[in-house]
Amino acid sequence: MRKNKCIRGIFLVLIMLVFPVMVIIAGGAQEAVESDPLQLVSERGTHTEAWKTQMEAFESESGVDLEITQHPYANYFDQLMLSYTSGQNEYDVPYISLLWYPTLANAGYIQPLNDFVDADATLPEDMPGLQSASLDGDIYFIPYMNEVGGIVYRKDLFEDETEKKNFKAEYGYELTPPKTLEQYEDIAAFFHRPPELYGVTLMGKRSIFLATHFMNRLWAHGGNLLDDDFEPVFDSEIGVKSLEEVKDFFAYTNPAAYSYDFQEALTEFKMGKSAMAELWTTAMFHVDDPEGSQIVGKASFVGFPKPADAGDEKRPRLFISWGFAISDACERKEEALDWIAHATASDALAEAAPLGTIPARISAMNDADLIAELPWIPAFQEALDTCIPTPIVPLIPEGMSIVNGFVAPMVSEFISGNGSAEELLAGAAASTRELLEQNGYY
Amino acid sequence: MKKQSLTKRWEDILYLSPGIVVLGLIFIIPLCYAIGITFVRWTLIRPELGIVFVGLQNYVNILKDPFTYEVLGRTMVFLICAVIIEMVLGMVIATVLNWGYRGHSLLQSICLIPFMMAPIVVGFTWRFLLNNTFGPIPRLLQSIGLESWVSLPLLANPHTVMLVLILVDVWQFTPFVVLVVLAGMKALPTEPFEAATVDGATSWQRFRHITLPLLRSSLLVALVMRTLTALRVFDTVSIMTGGGPGSSSEIISFYGYRLAFQSYEMGLAGTVGILTMLLALGLTVVYLRRVGVES
């Protein structure tokens, strides 16, 4: 009896000891991992795969070890935010979307990188994305890749002599990649021969992708989401016109496009089922990938067109950029800056580009070897040169909430026939105003 | 004697304490935290604004917003239709599988496959099956003269999208009901059935008056579990429709997600979470009172 009691006592003490010890070990293990290599964090995407190829060379040149954590794009931002808000400070160098840095900078999670830009006087001109990378005069984001919203089109169809002849006979002008919105619609109508070929591919699923179709048109017509005082201004005549145009363009799509997301739209275009697709430039990498495309080498890119009456005036075009930031809690800023300098050097950008990224530097885009490998790069550069590169969401912390939470559902409601353009735009603008008012913008 | 009993009691508490600590860490603390954030305004993307105590304002805002009732209505339609169909279908399939013919074990295993799939895989699979260009279902509907049904993709049509989501849920979760009911059927005593057969009861009478009452506990478990899980369906909605077209398929779990990770309003999102929990609790109490009293 006494022996049993003794055994029970020992067992009890063990239980009481083991539990806290396990907790301490678990905490300590994490502590140990956090110190050594410089911690990079990114999404799982083609451009990350491109810069990952530069890591080994940097490690051997600098003697600094790098370690990367990758999250699926769908929950990367949430993971990053949770990591920062919980104070874990796991990451030194986050690779982020241009759209995210205002939130992170405002919250004090990332630090200014002015030294990096100041060290190279040619950088602002060579790296157009830097124009959108500053907040209150401080640079927080060093672009690695650029993209412009526009149209990928079937070069082989546009160059086909019979198609050209027929188009001219029908519309009275030459078939070329669309330079105006009017041409864009004519060409979409001309090639719309369902079910073999559709005029254009759009993305109709309720998402930020659908919102891009509205934003492309809103900017092309000279509109904007917010004015300089952060007042929503998209519930204007231009807004109505742009929204109606989005709906009208679905007449030239496969009916299935109403439920498409980016991947499905891309698949349709890669299968050669449409003459044009309203995507952005990195779609070209997928189109030219022989593994999954039936139109390898048969496509090119053109920036999103403007209305004919806009003439040569520069108007905003959807601009997407991903790049590097440095966490505020990073204690090895010099090493982090060295890595960023290495990855964003012109030759490194040009070398990595064919793996799935469009260089953030003009000097890299002019690389002859790169142009030989990616012949559509000059078309991309022209699209960039002829516009005001504009991020899809306003560069304020609430930007994503406005586009994801109000604009995308509004466009989705409209194309599915749930309300008038005026009502829906007014509703989205009112919600936007309410949010910004609550957050102290007025 | 009294001292020994007191020592024993403390000993019991000490033995239980690791379990209580773990339970506290993984259940009670998060629950308190979730309730706590409903009383604050906390915008995750604007941490510099701080966490401001607002009392019941989040509840007032959510309950005042007509969109909440739209979402709740949609959620109830989804829940009631999906759970009723699953219960009826699950019962029928379980009865058929319980007959014990040759190959029934294989059939049972096949029936369980949808339930074993991750909801995210189910979402992508059905998205493909329903794709108007590549998917077999629209083609099948076209081939039997129902072109008008798929002139717009089923997932992009505000009138059909909820029906599709309900059917996908039924496809995935009916096997769960089958599993629970079948386990219940296997454990039924044989005597009442033998007695009823001797008394000349028909198959329907045996099913209605013996099987169903004896299965009450199993049915209650299936009903409660399905109701609770149907309330938090998220993955399939997110993958298949993203809440659209418009907001035609936005149900309460997706609404909560949108408030948390698109608007980053943690207080409002927490409030939706707590309201969902209260709804689940209310439904469970109703079930226990109505169905569970005798069992």
In chain A, which among 95-124 make CB contacts under 8 A with chain B? Answer: 103, 106-108
* B7 close to A (CB below 8 A): no
Q: Is the pLDDT of residue A31 over 50?
A: no
Q: Are residues A136 and A52 in the same domain?
A: yes
Q: For residues B154 and B146, is the Cβ–Cβ distance under 8 A?
A: no
Taking an 8 Å cut-off on Cβ atoms, the answer to whether B155 and A259 are in contact is: yes
Are A222 and A311 found together in one domain? yes
Domain identity same for A138 and A237: no
pLDDT at A30 over 80: no
* CATH code at position A351: 3.40.190.10
> What are the structural domain ranges in chain B?
56-290
Within its chain, how far is the Cα of A313 from the centroid?
Answer: 25
| Pair (A139, A156) in one structural domain | no
Quickly state the pLDDT bin for A2 (edges 50, 70, 90).
low
pTM of the entire predicted model: 0.84
Dist. CA A42–CA A299, nearest whole Å: 30
Strand partners, A317: A389
**Tally of domains within chain A:** 2
- Domain check: are A307 and A332 in the same one? no
* Chain B residues with CB-CB distance to A256 below 8 A: 131-133, 153
Q: Categorize the per-residue pLDDT at A9 as very low, low, confident or very high, splitting at 50, 70 and 90.
A: low
Q: For residue range A367-426, list pLDDT tens digits in order.
A: 999 999 999 999 999 999 999 999 988 889 899 899 999 999 999 999 999 899 999 999
CB A243 within 8 A of CB A421: yes
Which residues does chain A have within 8 Å of residue B241's beta carbon, measured at their own beta carbons? 205-206, 259
> What count of CB pairs under 8 Å joins A to B?
110
Which of B44, B48, B130 lies closest to A85 in CB terms?
B44
Nearest to B153 by CA among B119, B126, B176: B126
Distance CA B243, CA B240 (A): 8
Q: List all residues 6 or more positions away from B54 whose beta carbon is below 8 Å from its beta carbon.
A: B39, B40, B41, B267
Query: What's the confidence (pLDDT) of residue B3?
Result: 65
Is the Cα torsion angle B30, B34, B39, B40 positive or negative in sign?
A: positive
Highest mean pLDDT among A282-286, A423-427, B257-261: A423-427
Nearest to A327 by CA among A95, A79, A143, A92: A92
Over 50: is that where the pLDDT of A23 sits? no
A292 in the same domain as A363: no
Q: Does A223 touch chain B (CB under 8 A)?
A: no
* Residues B158, A412: C-beta atoms closer than 8 Å: no
Residue A193 clears pLDDT 90, i.e. is over it: yes
Range of the domain at A402: 150-317+395-438
Instruction: Name the more confident of B61 and B290.
Output: B61
Does A198 or B103 have the greater pLDDT score? A198
Structure tokens at A127: 């790296």
Q: Could you confirm whether domain B56-290 is CATH 1.10.3720.10?
A: yes
Do both A128 and A66 map to the same domain? Answer: yes
A345 burial (CB, 10 Å; 0-12 / 13-18 / 19+) is: middle
Give yes or no: residues A278 and A411 share one domain: yes
Residue A109 structure tokens: 């999670």
* Residue B264 at interface with chain A, using a CB cutoff of 8 Å: yes
In a domain, A14, yes or no: no
Q: Which residue has the higher pLDDT, A358 or A36?
A: A358
A303/A333 same-domain check: no
Q: Which two tokens stand for residue A334?
A: 């010099």
- Is there a domain that residue A7 lies in? no
User: Where residue A135 falls among pLDDT bands split at 50, 70, 90?
Assistant: confident
Assigned domain for A15 exists:
no
Secondary structure tally for chain A: helices H, strands E: 22, 12
Do B173 and B111 meet the contact criterion of CB atoms below 8 Å apart?
A: no
Give the pLDDT of residue B244. 86
Give yes or no for residue A279 having a pLDDT over 80. Answer: yes
Beta strands in B38-144 (DSSP E): 40-41, 52-53
Residues A241 and A336 in one domain: no
Three-state DSSP class for A236? Answer: coil
Of A246, A225, A261, A202, nearest to A393 (Cα)?
A225
pLDDT of residue A110: 95
Q: Which residue of A has its CA nearest to B260?
A: A78
By DSSP bridging, strand A134-135 and strand A138-139 are antiparallel
Cα A144 to its chain centre, rounded Å, is 12
Q: Looking at residue A34, what is its pLDDT?
A: 44
What's the pLDDT at B28?
A: 87
Task: Fill in the DSSP letter of residue A305.
Answer: P
Average pLDDT on B205-229 reads 91
Q: What is the largest CA-CA distance in chain A?
A: 106
- Altogether, the residues listed in chain B come to a count of 295
Q: What whole-number distance in Å separates Cα of residue A46 and Cα of residue A305?
A: 27
Question: Hey, what are A276's tokens?
Answer: 């044009």
Mean pLDDT of A136-162: 94
Q: Which two tokens stand for residue B57?
A: 């304002």
| Statement to judge: residues A305 and A403 lie in one domain | yes
- Close Cβ partners of A308 (under 8 Å, ≥ 6 residues apart): A180, A181, A182
Are residue A118 and residue A244 in the same domain, yes or no? no
